[in-house]
Amino acid sequence: MTQGEDAALLHFIDTILIGEQPDKVAIAVSGGGDSMALLHLYMRWSEQTGVPVIAATVDHGLRAAAADEAAFVGAFCEEHQIPHSILNWDGTKATGNVQAAARDARYQLLSDWAWDNGTETIALGHTANDVAETFLMRLGRKAGLDGLAAMPPVFSLHRSIFVRPLWQQTREELRNYLRRHDVSWVDDPSNEDLTQTRPKARQILAALEPLGIDIESLKSTAAALASAKSAIQGYTCEEARRLVIVDRGDVLIQSRPRPPVHPDVERRLRLAAVRYINGNGYAPRESALINLDVALTKQDRHTVGGCIVSKEEGALRFAREVKATEPTIEWRNRTLGLLWDARWLVSEESETPNMGELTVGALGEHIKDVPDWRETGLPRASLMASPAVFEGETLISAPVAGLNNGFIARIVADFTSLLLSR
């Protein structure tokens, strides 16, 4: 698109997405050098392609200076006629791992904002420095292949497509770009706080450079591991077609198959089964899978990650644990389907105008009110965790258990997609 010192950077911006260009691109901008370079590059790209860009800054409420940084980005966007929004999240109410909670909240806020503004494409300013630092941090946590592999340049999350066009560029390269174009940025003082893990990783990285362990070498290693991870994921998908059956929300994985499956592939299938069933996308700890194997040598069923794992003839069945399901929720607009427990879409098959206010929750002990549930062939525990429609305390419908009464329930989660994600 452009010759000169900026040609490579603009090329990465232009080619991060394969195929048709999006109608609009959303940019996540903190005000730091990485994201300001990303914003400025997309601003130039927009001028040449005609694709509009919008920007947003997330204020987690964790630092007093964050509001000033958001205002700084807003002023730059106003000067260059780029629509800008500030997305607020009260990080002071977060519990547990605050940094992880802030990251999750940031992705959710950005996705919702982008959708509200007519785009699913969101650009992030992660750099080669981030890849190298993350590698060191995960190495310290004894991460395996999935943890050490480089972050994907393109990934889907919360209905959005996130892209990292600058993941191969160093922080210094981007700051040099900003200097060439006389663009200011804000330095976050928390980046120098050695009580935090990432600043420590930056310090360690500087100390390792005399050994040849630098940003470029770690980035290349992480990229090579990402390639290996992709190959294993592809092989796991092939084995899933041979060994896995999805049965009305449950997952059955064949036991002792012939030919045998590699232990790491078996581990991946089990992790995906738990993530698929619990609906939150999070895998249990490796120790939980080890405990599962030990428990099943002594008993026929065990719980892990909100799932019941039970031995059947020739297979392990992974089913939802009823006490881990989403609480009963109101169905306020029956013209629309209701998503319950992150996987089930409940909807009306026919109009039922005589019914009052309805709720959706787990069938639970109301299974006693479904006389023909055994005819479904599903275990009682699986049916108890399936969706049911209630009017007050009265059971109206339990579609999976065979009591339809004008309602249907279907799984909207995709098992295979979990084999291709962490």
Taking CA atoms, 159 is separated from 37, 113, 224, in Å, by: 26, 11, 28
Q: Can you tell me the distance from the alpha carbon of 60 to that of 69, in angstroms, rounded to the nearest whole number?
A: 12
Does the pLDDT at position 195 exceed 90? no
Element holding 362 (H helix, E strand): strand 358-362
- Mean residue pLDDT of the chain comes to 90
- Give the pLDDT confidence of 6-31 residue by residue, as tens digits: 999 999 999 998 877 899 999 999 99
Q: Any bridge partners for residue 387, and if so which?
A: 362
- pLDDT at residue 93, rounded to an integer: 67
Contact 84, 113 (CB under 8 A): no
Please give the residue that has the higher pLDDT: either 199 or 97. 199
Report which of 419, 422, 421 is spatially closest to residue 242, judged by C-alpha positions. 419
Give Cα 164 to chain centroid, integer Å.
Answer: 15
Q: Can you tell me the distance from the alpha carbon of 120 to that of 113, in angstroms, rounded to the nearest whole number?
A: 10
- pLDDT at residue 328, rounded to an integer: 95
Q: Can you tell me the distance from the alpha carbon of 31 to that of 13, in angstroms, rounded to the nearest whole number?
A: 19
Q: Helix, strand, or coil here: 24?
A: coil
Does the pLDDT at position 231 exceed 80? yes
Q: Any bridge partners for residue 398, and if so which?
A: 403
Does the pLDDT at position 105 exceed 90? no
Where do the structural domains in the chain lie, given as residue ranges?
7-220, 243-323, 326-413
Q: How confident is the model at residue 95 (pLDDT cuts 50, 70, 90)?
A: low
Question: Domain 7-220 in CATH: superfamily?
Answer: HUPs (3.40.50.620)
Q: Can you tell me the distance from the alpha carbon of 174 to that of 35, in angstroms, rounded to the nearest whole number?
A: 9
- pLDDT at residue 189, rounded to an integer: 72
* CA R_g for the chain: 25
Both tokens of residue 192? 């120098």
Does the pLDDT at position 233 exceed 70? yes
Q: Can you tell me the distance from the alpha carbon of 173 to that of 37, in angstroms, rounded to the nearest whole number?
A: 10
Contact 261, 237 (CB under 8 A): no
pLDDT above 70 as % of the chain: 94
Does the pLDDT at position 194 exceed 80? no
Which residues have C-beta within 8 Å of that of residue 44, sequence separation ≥ 6? Answer: 2, 6, 10
- Rama region for 340: left / alpha / beta (φ>0; ψ in -120 to 50; rest): beta
pLDDT above 90 as % of the chain: 69
What is this structure's pTM? 0.82
- Mean pLDDT to the nearest integer, 237-256: 94
- Give the pLDDT confidence of 299-342 residue by residue, as tens digits: 999 999 999 999 998 999 999 999 999 999 999 888 889 999 99
Q: How confident is the model at residue 3 (pLDDT cuts 50, 70, 90)?
A: low
Task: HSE, CB side, 13 Å, CA atoms: give it for residue 112.
Answer: 11
- pLDDT at residue 336, rounded to an integer: 86
Q: Omega before 259 cis (within 30°)?
A: yes
Strands (E), 61-118: 84-88
- Mean pLDDT to the nearest integer, 219-232: 95
- Give the pLDDT confidence of 26-72 residue by residue, as tens digits: 999 999 999 999 999 999 999 999 999 999 999 877 777 788 899 99
Does the pLDDT at position 351 exceed 70? no
- pLDDT at residue 162, rounded to an integer: 95
Q: Can you tell me the distance from the alpha carbon of 36 to that of 72, in angstroms, rounded to the nearest whole number?
A: 11
- Give the pLDDT confidence of 126-170 residue by residue, as tens digits: 999 999 999 999 998 888 898 899 999 999 888 899 999 999 999
